[in-house]
Structures are given as structure tokens and as C-alpha cells.
Copies of this chain bind each other. A is one copy, B any other.
Amino acid sequence: MAIAEVSIIPLGTKTPSVSKYLARAFRALRQEKNIKYELTPMGTIIEGDLGDILRIVRNMHEAAFGDDIMRVVTTVKIDDRRDKTLTMRGKIESLLKESER
């Protein structure tokens, strides 16, 4: 199990608004069953098996393309810990707990 953040930027859009194209990628993500995700103002965070994560990132990346989009810059950051289970919630809780010390 790993946690990954995905950020997709379509280039060559007519206006600076890109949510229309990001929505295509998000719909590709929503079809997935065995994955937890969380939207943030800067990307999407996914928790799951590393193989699943990479497959889904590729699907999201492909979904952003279209007749109107010929270039996509996708960034994925994977946090993969193998001595204990990482979860999205656990990471935030650890930080908040440490911050109170």
C-alpha cells in the first residue's frame, strides 16, 4: 500500500481555466473500485496498491487528452513505506500529534 499525489496540467487550452479537462481525469479515477482518494486544491491523493496507483495515473493522464488537448504534463509523487502501513488519515494524525508536543 502506498499513497500518491497526482497533478495533471493540460497545455494549450484556450483560457487559463482547466477544470473541464481535469474533470475527464477525475471521472477516470471515480470509476475505480479498490482505491481511496481525496481531492485537494492542488491535486488528487490516492491510497492503494502501487501497481493500481500507476495504472490509474496512466488512465487519468490519457483521459485528459482529447481533440482539444495535445499536451499534458502529469506529476505523480509516491510515498511508499514498507515497515508499517501508511494511510492518508494516519499521516495527518501523526503530524498533528507531533505538533502538540
B-contacting residues of A (Cβ < 8 Å)? 3, 5, 7, 9, 11-20, 22-23, 26-27, 30, 38-43, 45, 47, 50-51, 54, 57-58, 61, 65, 70-83, 87-89, 91-92, 94-99, 101
Q: Contact between B77 and A22 (Cβ–Cβ < 8 Å)?
A: no
- Look across to chain B and name the residue whose beta carbon is closest to the beta carbon of A98: B23
Q: Contact between B3 and A42 (Cβ–Cβ < 8 Å)?
A: yes
Q: Contact between B41 and A45 (Cβ–Cβ < 8 Å)?
A: yes
Given contacts A71-B83, A73-B77, A78-B74, contact A38 B39 (CB under 8 A): no
Q: Contact between B23 and A16 (Cβ–Cβ < 8 Å)?
A: no
Number of copies: 4
At the interface, is chain A mostly helix, strand, loop or mixed?
A: mixed
Query: How far does the alpha carbon of A20 sit from the alpha carbon of B14 in the complex, in Å?
Result: 15
Given contacts A11-B13, A22-B95, contact A80 B74 (CB under 8 A): yes
Residue numbers in B under 8 Å from A88 (CB-CB): 41
